[in-house]
Each structure stands twice: as structure tokens, then as C-alpha cells.
């Protein structure tokens, strides 16, 4: 499977949409139970050999915005519809949990926010959300710039050392972004400097080992790791247990230190501390110091581990795909660089100047549209529910029984030919054009001008057609952190370098686990800008 940005292009014409609508007439006329849902069948082989979400897209175009995917004894309801997504994620959010995803992640994240049961989640979410307050985010901008500077310095030194005549170097930017994102998340969440841009350490290796295992588990069909003794007998499971221990020991030590230096205060006071002089501004510090938020070390460790994993690969992937897209569009890269030159020139980025990098922000957002991380949101119905009728498919909606497993395909929503013009094209400017949709009833229209204060387009102004960070109560807690981080890192890279792909875009193969990444790296040529 090649990952050209145009690989799944479907022309968006009204006739097309009408043809599709008439194909779906059968669904409109049938009843409203899960049994009457269109079924994707005969293509189970599609599950192997190429990422699942590509097949889910083809079936979406064929069967409509809500269909059942059956393979073997298992079945999933696949949702590619903003109205139905809004129902599941926001309106009736508490009728669902994370299902299969929680089963996979629980051994790693314990009772961290992502897999947590509802009772634990309610308590912890209330405590963690205020940690991402505006002063913290502003202070983090300094961390983002410092860490990005380290990466830039490394690239400059490599150029100096290896190839100073041509002022260019080839390197795998995906790996570099991964190191950068790890350093940033370590400092932001628990004030620990992995220093992974410049060195390797047992903890870094253990983090990568754990991520690797999480990915293996999310793509491997049979959960053999739950079998008794598997963790002792299967070598990769033994290694995984060792990796977990290394990270947990490190986190336990950090928690112990934070607790020993505890300075209890009220939430409001913590949010107004003088962040310019604080030595440790991390979330861990905030969570430990918050009055009334006493929590056992185990829960705290689960929270930190969850944010470490949730905030690392996702951000690295956004930077990877934004660079991949820009490298194929030199005119857009130049436009981005012109913005950087005029807003910050040769200076460093500050929280203030960051606000003026409008185009870079849209590049990040457009990369998130084309390559959402993760491409699927996973849910399981805790009780029977009725999904609303979507914009196509059964107008009455569908009754679904308790235990139904659901994939909300963010990838399909983000590339839906029903909502986006040229859905597979990289067009950051699209977010500047107010847009309604005369084709589909219930589509509120996408109009960024309705929310001028919002720095980044989001699921609210797009009414769930664009949900890079999910939506409703389980929406990403780190969304602003991640957006600011990616904007800073991309801007600083483009300030100093022109980026070209080493080979053709077709050679960059896409694989997917929890996030979408390349099969063998994003090999680029970096040239120093004069």
C-alpha cells in the first residue's frame, strides 16, 4: 500500500453522490435493527496486506456511512457519519466504553484515562484537565523551542561533519520527530529529560519497546498474551514485562521525588504560580501539589504512562505527515517559510509570535485531516442504544444491542467526499473558506468564521465532520499542548531547512498500529536555507 496523498481519490460530484444515494435505497427501506445494516462481506482478505482503514474507506463508499463489518465470529459497526459520531462520542458518550482498546491497553496503562473504567475516569479527568491551563501551555512553548533547537543543532552538526560542501544531509525525519516528541513529553508530563535526540538509554529503549508491543497487540488478532504463563514463556512478552518494569521504576522514582517536595495548594493558586521562575512546571508537579487530589502512587503512575504514550507517537506522526505533504508541495513549503520569515525572521518562537503563524497552524491541521491519529476510535456499547439515522443509510437509525463493538472511522470522516472538496488533496487553505453543504440535511456547515477565537479548526465548528482529537467528554486532554508543540517544531525546522523527499512519495509505504507511520522511515534531504 502506497501512501500518496491522492491514493484514494474519489471525484466529488453531485451525480456521484446521487448514485451512491440510490445504491443505498435498500437500506432506507429496510428496518432499523443491526440485522438490517449493510454488511461489508467477501473482502476479509483485505484485512491482510494493507492497513485496515483503507478497506474501511472502500466499504464506506460502497455501503454508506453506517455498516457492519463481519469477519469470523467477530463483527464491528463502522461509522463514517458526523451525526452518528456525535451521538456516540458526545450525546450518549457514557453508554460506551473503549472496549477492545481498553483490553489491549490496560496491561500498559492500567487505570490511566484512555482505558479507565467510567468511575476512575470521572475522578481522574477532573483532576488532570486543569493541569493543562494556559500558563502551563505558555511555559511549555519554551520547552518546545528548547527541544526543537537541540534537534536543529544536531542536524546542523551532521551537515557540518558529513557533507559541508553541499550543505545538505539525508536522514530519517520520522525517527528524529519521534525522539523530539519523546523529549518534549517527558519534560512536559514529568520533568524528565530523556535526551533521546542525542543519546540512547535503557529507559528510552524501554519506552520504544513498550510502544512496539502496544502496536503489536492492537494489530494481532488473537490475544495470546493473556494466556497463563505467556508473559514468562514467550520471549517478546518477557521483554515487554522487562521494559514495563524499567519505565515503571523510573516513574516511581519521579513520583517519590515529587511527593517529597510537595507544596500543597488550591487549583486556582497552582494555575497562577509564577511559571517563569518555577524549576519544575510539569503536570506531575501540578497533580502532586493539587490540594484534595490525593491519589495513590499506582494511579499516578498509570496517568503518567498514559500521557507518555498518548502524547508521544501521535505528535511525532503529525510532524512526519505534515513534512511528507509539504515536501511534495514546494510552493506550499515556500509559503510556510515566507510566513516564518516575516513573523519571526531569524529569532526564536515565543508564545506571542506563535499565534501569528496562521499558515503553519493550518498545515498541521490539514495533516491531521489527511492522517488522523489514531485513524479509528474504538467503542463498545455498555447498554442497548439507538444510533441516529445518518446523512445516508437508514433514516430511522439502527437499534444496537449491548456489547456492540464500534469503529468510528475518523479517516473516513476526514476524507469523506460528501463533506470535503477534493478530499484527498493537501490544501491547508481549505479551512479559510466558509463552507455549508447543500447536499446533506443535518450538516451544519463548516465555517471557521463562526469561531474566530479558535486558533485551530475543531470538531465543534465542523459539527463532528473534523475530529482530530475526538470529541465529547473523552476528547483528548492534550490537544492544545500537541497543536502548539507541532506548530513550534515544524516552524523551527522550516525556518532553517528546505526539505525534500529522498525518493518518490510512492516509496514511502504506510503502516498502521495505533497511529499511522511509515514502513521504513521518512527519508528526506535537508538543505540549509541561506
Q: What is the rounded CA–CA span in Å between residue 231 and residue 234?
A: 6
Site stretch for ligand HEM (CB under 6 A), options 161-169, 428-436, 452-460, 472-480: 472-480
Residues 81, 391 contacting (CB under 8 angstroms): yes
Shortest Å, Cβ 310 to ligand HEM: 4
Q: Establish if 316 lies at the interface with ligand HEM (CB under 6 A).
A: no
Binding to ligand HEM, residues 105-134 (CB under 6 A):
113-114, 125
Shortest Å, Cβ 476 to ligand HEM: 3
Shortest Å, Cβ 158 to ligand HEM: 26
Site stretch for ligand HEM (CB under 6 A), options 11-19, 143-151, 252-260, 462-470: 462-470
Q: What is the rounded CA–CA span in Å between residue 106 and residue 522?
A: 31
How far, CA to CA in Å, does 445 sit from each of 371, 437, 450, 472? 22, 6, 10, 19
| Residue from 481, 490, 495, 512 binding ligand HEM (CB under 6 A) | 481
Residues 187, 195 contacting (CB under 8 angstroms): no
SS (H, E, C) 277-333: CCCCCCHHHHHHHECCCCCCHHHHHHHHHHHHHHHHHHHHHHHHHHHHHHHCCHHHH
Binding to ligand HEM, residues 367-396 (CB under 6 A):
373, 377
Site stretch for ligand HEM (CB under 6 A), options 57-65, 257-265, 270-278, 466-474: 466-474
User: Which CB, 64 or 468, lies closer to ligand HEM?
Assistant: 468
Strand partners, 96: 381
Q: Where are the alpha helices (DSSP H) in 35-94?
A: 52-63, 82-86
Q: Establish if 412 lies at the interface with ligand HEM (CB under 6 A).
A: no
Residues in CB range of 491: below 8 A, 6 or more apart: 336, 340, 344, 349, 354, 357, 360
Site stretch for ligand HEM (CB under 6 A), options 251-259, 349-357, 474-482, 490-498: 474-482
| Residue from 27, 320, 468, 522 binding ligand HEM (CB under 6 A) | 468
| Residue from 151, 254, 470, 484 binding ligand HEM (CB under 6 A) | 470
- Measured at CB, which residue is nearest to ligand HEM? 478
Site stretch for ligand HEM (CB under 6 A), options 9-17, 77-85, 264-272, 471-479: 471-479
User: Which CB, 306 or 409, lies closer to ligand HEM?
Assistant: 306
| Residue from 474, 488, 517, 518 binding ligand HEM (CB under 6 A) | 474
| Residue from 381, 478, 487, 526 binding ligand HEM (CB under 6 A) | 478
Q: Establish if 512 lies at the interface with ligand HEM (CB under 6 A).
A: no
User: Which CB, 24 or 360, lies closer to ligand HEM?
Assistant: 360
The upper half-sphere exposure of residue 346, i.e. CA atoms within 13 Å in the direction of its Cβ, equals 2
Which cell numbers hold the place of 416?
469523506
Q: Establish if 337 lies at the interface with ligand HEM (CB under 6 A).
A: no
Give the count of residues interacting with ligand HEM (CB under 6 A): 22
Shortest Å, Cβ 358 to ligand HEM: 18
CA 488 to chain centre: 17
| Residue from 306, 412, 462, 512 binding ligand HEM (CB under 6 A) | 306
Classify each residue of 325-360 as buried b or exposed e, where b means 16 or more C-beta atoms within 10 Å of its C-beta. bbbbbeebbebbbebbeebbeeeebebebbeebebb
User: Which CB, 169 or 494, lies closer to ligand HEM?
Assistant: 494
Q: Establish if 416 lies at the interface with ligand HEM (CB under 6 A).
A: no
Q: Establish if 514 lies at the interface with ligand HEM (CB under 6 A).
A: no
Q: What is the rounded CA–CA span in Å between residue 205 and residue 521?
A: 18
Q: Establish if 240 lies at the interface with ligand HEM (CB under 6 A).
A: no
Site stretch for ligand HEM (CB under 6 A), options 7-15, 307-315, 324-332, 420-428: 307-315
Residues 508, 3 contacting (CB under 8 angstroms): yes
| Residue from 186, 311, 375, 393 binding ligand HEM (CB under 6 A) | 311
Instruction: State whether the Cα torsion 354-360-365-371 is positive or negative.
Output: negative
Shortest Å, Cβ 115 to ligand HEM: 9
Q: What is the rounded CA–CA span in Å between residue 194 and residue 482?
A: 18
476 is in an annotated binding site: yes
Say which DSSP state 87 is in. I
Shortest Å, Cβ 125 to ligand HEM: 5
Residues 75, 406 contacting (CB under 8 angstroms): no
| Residue from 210, 314, 323, 495 binding ligand HEM (CB under 6 A) | 314
How far, CA to CA in Å, does 175 sit from each of 156, 290, 443, 523? 16, 36, 39, 9
Q: What is the rounded CA–CA span in Å between residue 353 and residue 355?
A: 5
> Would you call 518 helix, strand, or coil by DSSP?
strand
Binding site for heme, by residue number, is 476
Residues in contact with ligand HEM by the rule CB under 6 A: 113-114, 125, 189, 306-307, 310-311, 314-315, 318, 373, 377, 468-470, 474, 476-478, 481-482
Binding site, by residue number, is 476
Amino acid at each position: 500500500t502506497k501512501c500518496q496523498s491522492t491514493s484514494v481519490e474519489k471525484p466529488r460530484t453531485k451525480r456521484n453522490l446521487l448514485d451512491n444515494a440510490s445504491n443505498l435505497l435498500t437500506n432506507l427501506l429496510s428496518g432499523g435493527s443491526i440485522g438490517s445494516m449493510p454488511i461489508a462481506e467477501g473482502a476479509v482478505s483485505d484485512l491482510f496486506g494493507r492497513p485496515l482503514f483503507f478497506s474501511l474507506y472502500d466499504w464506506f463508499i460502497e455501503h454508506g456511512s453506517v455498516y457492519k463489518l463481519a469477519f469470523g465470529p467477530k463483527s464491528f459497526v463502522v461509522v463514517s457519519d458526523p451525526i452518528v459520531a456525535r451521538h456516540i462520542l458526545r450525546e450518549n458518550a457514557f453508554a460506551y466504553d473503549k472496549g477492545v482498546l481498553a483490553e489491549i491497553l490496560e496491561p500498559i496503562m492500567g487505570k490511566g484515562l484512555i482505558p479507565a473504567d467510567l468511575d476512575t475516569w470521572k475522578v481522574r479527568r477532573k483532576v488532570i484537565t486543569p493541569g493543562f491551563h494556559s500558563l502551563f501551555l505558555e511555559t511549555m512553548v519554551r520547552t518546545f523551542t528548547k527541544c526543537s533547537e537541540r534537534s536543529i543543532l544536531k542536524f546542523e552538526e551532521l551537515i557540518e561533519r558529513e557533507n559541508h560542501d553541499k550543505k545538505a544531509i539525508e536522514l530519517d525525519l520520522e525517527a528524529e520527530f519521534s525522539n523530539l516528541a519523546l523529549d518534549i513529553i517527558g519534560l512536559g508530563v514529568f520533568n524528565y529529560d530523556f535526551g533521546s535526540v542525542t543519546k540512547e538509554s535503557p529507559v528510552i529503549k524501554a519506552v520504544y519497546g513498550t510502544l512496539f508491543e502496544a502496536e503489536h497487540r492492537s494489530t494481532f488478532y488473537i490475544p495470546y498474551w493473556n494466556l497463563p504463563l505467556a508473559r514468562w514463556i514467550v520471549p517478546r512478552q518477557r521483554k515487554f514485562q522487562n521494559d514495563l518494569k524499567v519505565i515503571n521504576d523510573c516513574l516511581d522514582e519521579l513520583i517519590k521525588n515529587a511527593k517529597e517536595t510537595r507544596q500543597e495548594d488550591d487549583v486556582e493558586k497552582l494555575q497562577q504560580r509564577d511559571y517563569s521562575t518555577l524549576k519544575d512546571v510539569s503536570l506531575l508537579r501540578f497533580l502532586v501539589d493539587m490540594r484534595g487530589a490525593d491519589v495513590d502512587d499506582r494511579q499516578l503512575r498509570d496517568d503518567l504512562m498514559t500521557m507518555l504514550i498518548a502524547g508521544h507517537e501521535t505528535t511525532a506522526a503529525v510532524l512526519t505527515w505534515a513534512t511528507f505533504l509539504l515536501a511534495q508541495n514546494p510552493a506550499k513549503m515556500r509559503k510556510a517559510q515566507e510566513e516564518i520569515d516575516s513573523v519571526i525572521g531569524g529569532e526564536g518562537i515565543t508564545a506571542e509570535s506563535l499565534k501569528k503563524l496562521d499558515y503553519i497552524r493550518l498545515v498541521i491541521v490539514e495533516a491531521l485531516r489527511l492522517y488522523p491519529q489514531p485513524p479509528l476510535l474504538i467503542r463498545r456499547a455498555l447498554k442497548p442504544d439507538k444510533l441516529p439515522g445518518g446523512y445516508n443509510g437508514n433514516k430511522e437509525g439502527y437499534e444496537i444491542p449491548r456489547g456492540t463493538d464500534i469503529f468510528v472511522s475518523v479517516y473516513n470522516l476526514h476524507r469523506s467526499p460528501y463533506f470535503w472538496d477534493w478530499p484527498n488533496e493537501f490544501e491547508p487553505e481549505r479551512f479559510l473558506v466558509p463552507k455549508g453543504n447543500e447536499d446533506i440535511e443535518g450538516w451544519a456547515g463548516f465555517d471557521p468564521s463562526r469561531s474566530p477565537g479558535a486558533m485551530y479548526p475543531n470538531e465543534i465548528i465542523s459539527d463532528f465532520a473534523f475530529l482530530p482529537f475526538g470529541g465529547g467528554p473523552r476528547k483528548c486532554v492534550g490537544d492544545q499542548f500537541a497543536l502548539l508543540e507541532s506548530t513550534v517544531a515544524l516552524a523551527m525546522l522550516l525556518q532553517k531547512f528546505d526539505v525534500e523527499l529522498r525518493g518518490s512519495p510512492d516509496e514511502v509505504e504506510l503502516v498502521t498500529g495505533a497511529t499511522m507511520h511509515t514502513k521504513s522511515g521518512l527519508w528526506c534531504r535537508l538543505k540549509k536555507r541561506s
